[in-house]
Structure 1
């Protein structure tokens, strides 16, 4: 195998990134969008996704500035790098949108999700569910003689892992909030 022979300044990309930029690599990205807190803004943002056939894996919305009437929409979506860039550009053109940040590429971020699990069972399955909940640091928020409701907070992967372990133990239903994320360190994102 021959060595790469790149002239100095011949390429703006790192020699270590040897992926073909034209391949269709599907990536997951977390976008933080600061918008005006007014009627119809969420519908316009979601309409952008549905109108172009983009999928939303997770969506959370909350007001972040009461006096400035601003909300933050956190969206987890998947697509090729070109599709993600197109989504960010189109979001930025919507009038009530103030900022669009791609937390996946702007540096490290902290992502968390809250989930509630209802697990029904008795005997050994009940004991095993409690033991696993302790390992995953899930809290029991409701208990009857036949079921538990567990509350767990963590990364989406942690929530998925807990769900897989609870299924054979009697998982009845599951409710998830969606991902909330913030940039780590001194990043200026609100």
Structure 2
């Protein structure tokens, strides 16, 4: 099963997120991640949803999304080159004496230690899912006390021919 990232532009109205998520569940799709936020146009929000399925299933899902009230456009970002980023905050068990050691681990990931306590610290990292997963593997030996991640935010790359965009 392939992983797909879909962008859905919707009217910023109560209940839209529920209708979209319900449609995914009714069609048997699991939502791996979902982010929702304002868009470049006032009154519209953009949902970026990561899910799995083959091309035919995703095309059918996109057609079903388009039928929902308040959905303006649906784009399969995975059909073209796109940029995707995620944010994670990771609380790790560590003493102040381990600060330099942990700094050496997080620095190559362009991550930052954003809070230091007597028995733990918090690391902030942004990047693609694989980058965050790789950092988490390295931090496991210290003891990950708490983890919170955003869903992916994504956008097609600028150098995509206009006729190549996969929009339903």
Query: Does the pair score TM above 0.5?
Result: yes
Larger relative contact order, structure 1 or 2 (CA cutoff 8 Å, min sep 6): 2
Residues 38-71 of structure 1, C-alpha deviation per residue, up to 9 Å, x if partnerless? 011110000101112210001000011463x100
1:56 aligns with 2:34: no
1:137 is displaced (CA, Å) by: 1.2
Bigger CA radius of gyration: 1
CA distance in 1, matches of 2:76, 2:112: 32
Q: Which has the higher helix share?
A: 2
1:116 maps to which residue?
89
Determine helix, strand or coil for the equivalent of 2:78. Answer: coil
Contact 1:126–1:169 (CA under 8 A) maintained in structure 2 = no
The 2-side partners of 1:89 and 1:48 are apart by 11
Counterpart of 2:151 in structure 1 is 178
Equivalence for 2:22: 47
Write the distance in 1 (CA, Å) between the matches of 2:99 and 2:143: 9
Q: Which residue of 1 aligns with 2:12?
A: 37
Structure 1 residue runs of 5 or longer lacking an equivalent are 1-25
Per-residue deviation, residues 82-132 of structure 1 (Å, max 9, x unmatched): 211111111111121011000110x21110000000001238755432211
Corresponding residue for residue 75 of structure 2: 101
Question: Structure 1 length as normaliser, TM-score?
Answer: 0.79
Given the alignment of the two structures, is residue 71 of structure 1 paired with residue 71 of structure 2, yes or no?
A: no
The normalised TM-score by structure 2 is 0.89
Residue segments in structure 2 that go unaligned for 5+ positions in a row: none
Q: Could you tell me which of 52, 55, 64 is aligned with 1:81?
A: 55
Paired residue secondary structure (1:145)? coil
For the Cα contact (< 8 Å) 2:96–2:116, is it kept in 1? no
